[in-house]
Structure 1
Amino acid sequence: MKTTSLVAAVLLAACTDAAIPAGGISKFARKDDHASSPPHYPSPWMDPEAPGWENAYASAREFVSQLTLPEKVNLTTGVGWMGERCVGNAGSIPRLGMRGLCMQDGPLGIRLSDYNSAFPGGITAGASWSRKLWHERGLLMGTEANEKGIDVLLGPASGPLGRAPTGGRNWEGFTVDPYMAGIALAQTSVGIQDGGVIATAKHYIGNEQEHFRQAPEAIGYGFNITESSSSNIDDKTLHELYVWPFADAVRAGVGAVMCSYQQVNNSYSCQNSKIINGILKDELGFQGFVMSDWQAQHAGAATAAAGLDMSMPGDTSFNTGLSYWGANLTLAVINGTVPEWRIDDMAMRIMASFFKVGRTVETMPDINFSSWSRDTFGYVQSAAKENWDQINYGVDVRHDHGKHIREAAAKGSVVLKNTGSLPLNKPKFVAVIGEDAGSNPAGPNGCSDRGCDDGTLAMAWGSGTSQFSYLVTPDAALQFQAIEDGTRYESILNNNRWAQVSQLIAQPNVTAIVFANADSGEGYINVDGNEGDRKNLTLWKEGDELIKNVSSICPNTIVVLHTVGPVLLTEWYDNPNITAIVWAGLPGQESGNSITDILYGKTSPGRSPFTWGRTRKSYGTDVLYDANNGQGAPQQEFSEGVFIDYRHFDRNSPSTDGTASSDDAAPLYEFGFGLSWSTFEYSSLEIQPHIDTIYEPTSGDTIAAPELGNFSIDLADYTFPSDIRYIYQFIYPWLNTSSSGKEASADPYYGQTADQFLPPKAVDGSPQPKNPAGGAPGGNPGLWDVLYTVSATVTNTGDVTTDEIPQLYISLGGKNEPVRVLRGFERIEGIAAGQSVIFTADITRRDLSNWDITAQNWVITKHEKKVFVGSSSRNLPLSAVLE
């Protein structure tokens, strides 16, 4: 036997879309008391005239037209876990000189590499509210990936969006607000692709917690379930909240989208035809390729029909040597289960994304590192221990990227409280307290994928991490500053040395800076009982007690928090001895320098990308920690709809006068809040209406599905070549035998037509009606018509030059709508004392629209629309009604 890529027929043919008749479905239905997902077939094919994709499409068509069927399958199927140097590797096309594509984590830098940079986490980057920094961060990450030989960088992330504050991977994304997340996702994607590497918007969609995301992982934690959890989301919420950021990324030209582990309305995300075919490819006009998360594929032909374009890492489970695709996909095309146009479209989408970012087969850089070893020499095929060669070349790709990292992390730090102790100015005596200020005794990379909380927290844990080439601790940087200033400096880098701490901070003239943190990460790692998701919203390692103890003695206590998201500050934030609170997020390799720049006022701080609630319960949402559906898929009901974070707080504790409320349901620090080094006055709100263009639903039909050439249906043409040496566990596109389809694929359904077990229209390649809400990448082009331009004057009324971040919110009106939603912002840098600047923001049709579940399109309701401008979601001194 020459290939082990065999699967049972039920895996090849299974389809989990609910058996709901096609046509006229306006919203997600419920069946047997569980949400279900309507089918959408066929899978939309590429559009040669899609704006921004014309040249890429032409190049892809020319290239794919030359390929044989096994070569096309090789493009779409990974070679297996640890089958090559990268975390994901597609098969090669040696006949045309193309090595296999390299897919590598991640959203804050290169994972499992060396001589690369560790950028701030997404949530810290988000807190800068800076389009310029988002693009620059993406560009530098893309440049580093390109120079390492990576073709597809597995980031940025906007899933999870942050439905529950305890969600383990919220920190990989930028913010809880879909509008802001969309801009950050788009800017970062463009930056990565400007660096010559395909960006991957992930995780699509509804992947809002780690618990139960994968049944095998949950079983490992002792849960008796058979299926991964289902995120049950209604149609309106899906469009207005969770899909919204991905629409921005698609419009910006992102090349890849990664589907997520869990189910959406009881259909696995990577074979849910509604969310992939219906929303992503049809409605949003996505022209790139959809890849599975690693082991998120659960079927063969069904996933192809539902719109999946690339299977990663290729094997059904790590190191099985079995694949849902590979030889099975070859056979499925031969026997007509998967139509020729679908495999052509998969290959076209992959290669169009490749060409779109400027890559060519002739100039593909060599992969110069191995994810599986830091040794110079090792096995290229690590799983099989085959092909000993040089695998690491020590290529340094960092350049001067530390400058950006330092700036971005500082500008993404948020000053939550300051009664006058900041910025520091050559203080007489600084005492730094807390483990979070110091080093991990095992080194910055001492815990695999950062799966511990030892020393300062500069990034959280999981596959979304990067290797540190160095890490500047707060202790090191603050001590260096103290030496420069002639300041006395002492640090106690332990949370449990209270006798020594109390003696130190009781001395006169002391400024005590207390560091504490709270961590989280991906579900395959358990840190202190936190199975990815956080168990609570308190600080780790008795950080709250440390802060309370220090502030009970020291009248000038400054608190610095490195956390993955909000923590509860209620017990100590208003202690008058606590003169400042700074959230420093996950700052990356320049951590100490960045926090020093903020504490000493060298850089302007950012604004909070989430709400700080008074209690855990006040958020209204939480992680589902217990399986609630017997042995079946746990059901996570997104019953709160669009009311997450500030939208929830505003509904439950509205601020009628534009300022924060003090009741228990009100936020402690609202979304968008952050103190500045100066004061600002907002005035002269002006609204300029533009000609109200007519919103025209897209009409007409698509072209027929392109088929790029005939191929043989003789099984003998696809058996394993005699001149290829079989590598153990490697996934190949060739068949075991030519005697029969059943023997070649272990498929007893061989010979049946696709319509006997795939949904109606799944193989229909005829012209299809265009989606009225679609028409171009990102959706109907009319959604981006500018209907109003809003401007306001922002005046620095203080005596310090600093940045300001004006924000624009809109009330869409209506009984069941949020009080207001973010629809504009800008980080205006370097506003001098006494200077006035003009903040402007365009309001598009999309910004004023709601998703109509009956019309299946965006509509502007008749309810009054009101615009607000100010410095946070609850400090909005300017307002006006949109006529």
Structure 2
Amino acid sequence: MKISALPILALATPVFSSAGDGDWASAYTKAKSALAKMSQADKVAMVSGTGWQKGPCVGNTAAISSIKYPALCLQDGPLGVRYAQGVTAFPAGITTGSTWDKSLMYDRGYALGSEAKALGVHVQLGPVAGPLGKIPRTVEGMQSGGVQACAKHFIGNEQELKRDSQSANIDDRTNHELYLWPFAEAIKANVTSIMCSYNKFNTTWTCENKALLSGLLKDELDFQGFVVSDWGAQHTTVGSANAGLDMTMPGDNFSGGKGGPNVQGDHKNVARAIARDGIVLLKNEKGALPLVKPKSLAIIGYDAIVNPAGANGCVDRNCDNGTLAMGWGSGTAEFPYLIAPLDAIKAQATTDGTTITTSTSDNPSQGASAAEAAATAIVFINSDAGENYITVEGAPGDRLNLDPWHKGNDLVTAVANTNVPTIVVIHSVGPLILETILALPSVVAVVWAGIPGQETGNGLADILYGSTSPNGKLPYTIAKQVSDYGIDIKPAPGDDSYSEGLYIDYRRFDKEGIEPRYEFGFGLSYTTFAYSDLTVSAIAAGSGSSTKVPGGKSDLYDVIATISATITNNGTVKGAEVAQLYIGLPSSAPASPVRQLRGFSKVALEVGKSGVVSFPLRRKDLSFWDVKSESWVLPSGEFGVWVGSSSRDLRLSGKLEVEDSRALLASMENLDDLFRIETYNITIKKSVLKIQIFALLSHLSKASLSTKQLARLPFTNGPFIIREPVVQDSGSTFDVFCWQNGTTKNPSGTTFLRTTSNAYVDKTTT
């Protein structure tokens, strides 16, 4: 299919977006009215934290009596309300991501928001954004639940160990296409606040980085909300304020109350659904799973039980004792209860008449002894991580390696060497190297259970016993060896250069031709699915609008193509499949990943039934960030289209053709074909810009076009209104609108605007 792109570029000076756009207009009107009644002291108090122990939350502002404005309560966190009893401890965001279920993402967000609101929270400090997470359903759910969401940590906080000192040095294209993208989507979803991070970005602290806060967030992305510092991340006063920081939140320590009503409602059902559907079945041989009334089971490993000191026995979960249901740090919540794997399996065993033997330590010899008496052994291992203010077992936030903790490989090896069929269940914060485990012939199944929260055991039992077919998919790649990732797990001294650029995770594996152990998007099921009927439908791309909205230019979010496919359950049990859409940019684009995930859809199907999945593609989804013009560019040519069950299991393929009517021209050396008509002085927000208008004397052939640097403007009555700066220096390229204004003298006919840097020209010029 063909679609056409007709953006218009021109020359102007920088301008800044106005506040109160779109859905925010009413709020800004109210805010301006309130400001007129406030003293300077009131204004300072509204945007300054009062300290950790001077309010009910981890962040508090003073009440403003002059406008009857309440003291704001800002509270952690991303998986439950911190320092509160009677709340739900949800699965972690990474486990929610492994469900690939947009409805569950929203439901979890809504439950988080409604519980926080019921406890008097105004701003909930979450969710956490990541470079592969681009669907803002959690933000939408939280704010629908009645609180302000706070997307964090902006930006480049991709490790913990040196986050307080290191600079994340990220090139412009990589930043836009990976790290900035999820924040843009959150802003498009009207997220209320964004938290700047502890680290530096390109050598400047994020909370005083004007290019980030004022440039990217508030100008380019038209962010209408407020920027709040991470706790203690502000380094200067005037510098931060002038850079765009709106609220500062310092504090030394916190010992706030743990009271409050029980606000869980029926949210345990959402927690269980995510714990269940976030499980990824990596291996299943010899009919090992699901379990069907087994005669005997051995349950082995410390990870199978609740921490002997209690589920909340370690402050901020600062230990790896018992089953791993959440990591450690300020993003934790108090467990109202914790169903451990052993508890849930014992409950089912009572119904089935299964004999259970246990070894609830990580001692290999004890584990082997327990396994010898059973028909099947289930071994539990884990790998933990958290925030850098806590060190657990030598790990200062980040993990020290990609091995299971507590010598988990040794435990599995000892059990498997008894020749008892062995099922390995892994709770982990991220990828592990599994080669030692997978090389053991007796290991017949591997279950990746993530970080599943309070319903850990129940969600696992649903999968092990087959009441639900596994339907989770990996949200990252599991490699065969650490070197396949292209980085050292131990951080190098100094700053982080992000030299891998766009090629993280599956993008790197594709680029380098590396065979992963388990690819991004992989996950087995108890049933099978067939893919058919790939359809590629294109919609005219139009000329591209330069209207700025939260999230960037409005045309970036225009749907310009739709991909659809039919999924059929041709197996023997009902199940759900996650169909994934990958797009490859055409050769006209600069070097890009082989394939990029651009959509996914989960469809539940009874045996023999089919369903259609549809993937809308927006202009941005098909574009790349051009560092020269500082804009998103939709390249022309053939896009590769793949739909499949993972990033490597691609069942259907096709092409999408984009015919771009723009031609990039070389720099202009003379004006032989042009005649200057008039020079205008246009005032844009107190900046005077001189624009030279030229009229075409003769038709330019394609040959001459290739040597000229022009930007075609369809001309109407009135002066040019310059909008949307994409770079902030002299001679930059900008989008241009023509505006009706009969009082200004104008030349007639088709006109051209000369630029001082590369520009696009319409090839259809006549």
TM-score greater than 0.5 by the shorter chain: yes
Aligned counterpart, 1:282: 219
Query: 1:486 pairs with 353, 361, 365, which one?
Result: 353
Letter in 2 for 1:778: G
Q: Which moved more, 1:799-808 or 1:88-97?
A: 88-97
1:97-176 matched pairs, under 5 angstroms = 97-158=68-129, 161=130
Q: CA deviation at 1:84?
A: 2.0
SS in 1 for 2:262: coil
Give the whole-Å Cα distance in 2 for the aligned partners of 1:299 and 1:464.
Answer: 26
Contact 2:317 2:327 in 1 (8 A): yes
Q: CA deviation at 1:41?
A: 9.2
Aligned counterpart, 2:528: 679
Give the whole-Å Cα distance in 2 for the aligned partners of 1:46 and 1:78.
Answer: 27
Give the whole-Å Cα distance in 2 for the aligned partners of 1:407 and 1:397.
Answer: 19
SS in 1 for 2:281: strand
> Is 2:127 the partner of 1:267?
no
Contact 1:693 1:785 in 2 (8 A): no
> How big is each residue's C-alpha offset from its partner over 1:6-54, in whole Å with a ceiling of 9 and x where there is no partner?
xxxxxxxxxxxxxxxxxx999xxxxxxxxxxxxx999x57522x22212
Contact 1:232 1:265 in 2 (8 A): yes
Aligned counterpart, 2:500: 640
Give the whole-Å Cα distance in 2 for the aligned partners of 1:642 and 1:584.
Answer: 28
Aligned counterpart, 2:664: none
> Is 2:154 the partner of 1:200?
no
Letter in 2 for 1:642: L
Q: CA RMSD in A?
A: 1.9
> Is 2:57 the partner of 1:86?
yes
Equivalenced residue count is: 644
Aligned counterpart, 2:661: none
Aligned counterpart, 2:134: 182
> Is 2:417 the partner of 1:545?
no
What's the TM-score once normalised by structure 2's chain length?
0.82
Letter in 1 for 2:319: C
Give the whole-Å Cα distance in 2 for the aligned partners of 1:252 and 1:624.
Answer: 36
1:467-546 matched pairs, under 5 angstroms = 467-496=334-363, 498-507=364-373, 510-546=375-411
Aligned counterpart, 1:372: 255
Query: 2:230 pairs with 276, 281, 293, which one?
Result: 293
Contact 1:652 1:666 in 2 (8 A): no
Give the whole-Å Cα distance in 1 for the aligned partners of 2:535 and 2:369.
Answer: 58
1:398-797 matched pairs, under 5 angstroms = 398-419=264-285, 420-496=287-363, 498-507=364-373, 510-605=375-470, 606-622=472-488, 625-627=491-493, 634-653=494-513, 665-698=514-547, 775-797=548-570
1:17-56 matched pairs, under 5 angstroms = 47-48=19-20, 50-56=21-27
Give the whole-Å Cα distance in 2 for the aligned partners of 1:234 and 1:505.
Answer: 53
Contact 2:75 2:123 in 1 (8 A): yes
Q: Bigger radius of gyration, 1 or 2? A: 2
Aligned counterpart, 1:62: 33
> Is 2:185 the partner of 1:248?
yes
Give the whole-Å Cα distance in 2 for the aligned partners of 1:439 and 1:554.
Answer: 28
Contact 1:107 1:156 in 2 (8 A): yes
Letter in 1 for 2:555: G
Q: CA deviation at 1:623?
A: 5.1
Give the whole-Å Cα distance in 1 for the aligned partners of 2:86 and 2:316.
Answer: 16
Query: 1:75 pairs with 40, 46, 69, which one?
Result: 46
Q: CA deviation at 1:574?
A: 4.1
Letter in 2 for 1:287: Q
Contact 1:474 1:596 in 2 (8 A): yes
Q: CA deviation at 1:863?
A: 4.7
Say if 1:257 and 1:373 are closer, same or farther in 2 by CA, change over 3 A: closer
Give the whole-Å Cα distance in 2 for the aligned partners of 1:504 and 1:67.
Answer: 71
Contact 2:170 2:201 in 1 (8 A): yes
Q: CA deviation at 1:270?
A: 0.5
Q: Which moved more, 1:446-455 or 1:486-495?
A: 486-495
Give the whole-Å Cα distance in 2 for the aligned partners of 1:104 and 1:146.
Answer: 10
Q: CA deviation at 1:398?
A: 0.9
Give the whole-Å Cα distance in 1 for the aligned partners of 2:449 and 2:489.
Answer: 24
Aligned counterpart, 1:217: none
Q: CA deviation at 1:81?
A: 2.9
Q: CA deviation at 1:113?
A: 1.3
SS in 2 for 1:685: strand
Contact 1:209 1:623 in 2 (8 A): no
Give the whole-Å Cα distance in 2 for the aligned partners of 1:266 and 1:624.
Answer: 21
Give the whole-Å Cα distance in 1 for the aligned partners of 2:461 and 2:379.
Answer: 13
Q: Which moved more, 1:537-546 or 1:808-817?
A: 808-817
Contact 2:358 2:370 in 1 (8 A): no
Letter in 2 for 1:691: A
Q: Which moved more, 1:859-868 or 1:268-277?
A: 859-868
What are structure 2's unaligned runs of at least 5 residues?
A: 1-9, 658-766
> Is 2:594 the partner of 1:819?
yes
Letter in 2 for 1:272: N
> Is 2:179 the partner of 1:213?
no
Give the whole-Å Cα distance in 2 for the aligned partners of 1:250 and 1:140.
Answer: 21
Query: 1:880 pairs with 654, 663, 675, which one?
Result: 654
SS in 2 for 1:607: coil
Give the whole-Å Cα distance in 2 for the aligned partners of 1:280 and 1:266.
Answer: 18
SS in 2 for 1:149: coil
Say if 1:45 and 1:791 are closer, same or farther in 2 by CA, change over 3 A: closer
Give the whole-Å Cα distance in 2 for the aligned partners of 1:136 and 1:607.
Answer: 19
Give the whole-Å Cα distance in 2 for the aligned partners of 1:127 and 1:600.
Answer: 20
Give the whole-Å Cα distance in 1 for the aligned partners of 2:389 and 2:207.
Answer: 20
Say if 1:268 and 1:863 are closer, same or farther in 2 by CA, change over 3 A: farther
Aligned counterpart, 1:397: 263
Query: 2:620 pairs with 821, 846, 849, which one?
Result: 846
Give the whole-Å Cα distance in 1 for the aligned partners of 2:368 and 2:283.
Answer: 24
Contact 1:410 1:604 in 2 (8 A): no
Q: Larger RCO: Structure 1 or Structure 2 (Cα < 8 Å, ≥ 6 residues apart)?
A: 1
Q: CA deviation at 1:578?
A: 1.1
Contact 1:624 1:636 in 2 (8 A): no
Q: CA deviation at 1:636?
A: 0.8
Contact 2:119 2:260 in 1 (8 A): no
Say if 1:122 and 1:597 are closer, same or farther in 2 by CA, change over 3 A: same
Aligned counterpart, 1:723: none
Q: Which moved more, 1:53-62 or 1:574-583?
A: 53-62
Q: Relative to total residues, which structure has the larger strand share, 1 or 2? A: 2
Give the whole-Å Cα distance in 2 for the aligned partners of 1:604 and 1:549.
Answer: 29
Q: CA deviation at 1:104?
A: 0.7
Give the whole-Å Cα distance in 2 for the aligned partners of 1:481 and 1:446.
Answer: 27
User: Identical aligned pairs, as a percentage?
Assistant: 46
> How big is each residue's C-alpha offset from its partner over 1:439-482, in whole Å with a ceiling of 9 and x where there is no partner?
21111111111011000000000111111111111111110110
Q: CA deviation at 1:511?
A: 1.4
Letter in 1 for 2:507: R
Say if 1:45 and 1:372 are closer, same or farther in 2 by CA, change over 3 A: farther
Give the whole-Å Cα distance in 2 for the aligned partners of 1:695 and 1:408.
Answer: 39
Give the whole-Å Cα distance in 2 for the aligned partners of 1:25 and 1:41.
Answer: 10
Give the whole-Å Cα distance in 2 for the aligned partners of 1:635 and 1:41.
Answer: 31
Letter in 1 for 2:334: Q
Letter in 2 for 1:398: Q
